[in-house]
Amino acid sequence: MKINTKSSTKNIAIIGLFTAFTITLSQLAIPLPSGVPVTLQTFAIALCGYILGWKRGLAAVWTYIILGAIGLPVFSNFGGGLGKLFGMTGGFIWGFLFLVMLCGIGIKSNNFLTSIALGIIGLAPCHLLGVVQFSLVTSTPILRAAFLASFPYLIKDIVSIAGAYFIAIAARKALAKSNIGKEFV
């Protein structure tokens, strides 16, 4: 089996770039009394899926999670470590895996409604895992946890997915025209 090192290098570079992008947007956080900050993580994760597709997008998000798990300050408010992954907001981070996969699958449909719908469907496990973990860690009843940790963020997250989709479409068109990005779209 012959390995195309030029292609492998491009894959590593683009996955690293989107991991760094996700880390950067994770730091733009507005703290709220619930302990769940308003961030641009959902936007970053959706953009990873929509631009990179589900495989490369998933690799970027796994890299983000692994970097955080080993203690690097990549999560919101420069958090990191296993405590953050298994803390009150960690369920959302685990849910990003589903979000990026469904956005990546959606972009292959070449249909606006399908792409956006799959992105929104990807929010369901993200928010469900987030609410359940928040509830367990804070000993908050599940419905109250949903009102604290999920419902206030749904509109922002849906708008983030739609925005990521439209930016990704423009980026994918530019990549398709360039010599650098043809293999990524």
Q: What is the pLDDT along the chain (185 residues), one digit of tens a residue?
A: 455 666 788 889 999 999 999 999 999 999 888 889 999 999 999 999 999 999 999 999 999 999 999 999 999 999 999 999 999 999 999 999 999 999 999 999 989 999 999 999 999 999 999 999 999 999 999 999 999 999 999 999 999 999 999 999 999 988 888 876 666 66
- pLDDT, position 7: 74
- pLDDT, position 35: 87
Task: Name, in order, each residue with C-beta under 8 angstroms of 20's C-beta and a sequence gap of 6 or more.
Answer: none
- pLDDT, position 96: 98
Are 140 and 35 in contact, with CB atoms under 8 Å apart? no
Are 25 and 44 in contact, with CB atoms under 8 Å apart? yes
Two tokens, residue 73: 């300050």
Residue for token pair 């369920």 = 91
Radius of gyration of the chain, Cα coordinates, nearest whole angstrom: 16
Are 91 and 132 in contact, with CB atoms under 8 Å apart? yes
Two tokens, residue 20: 């760094």
Residue for token pair 């928040």 = 134
Class of domain 9-184: mainly alpha
In total, the chain counts a number of residues equal to 185
- pLDDT, position 80: 95
This prediction has a pTM of: 0.92
d(CA 180, CA 10): 9
- pLDDT, position 67: 98
Q: Which residues lie across from 38 on neighbouring strands?
A: 30
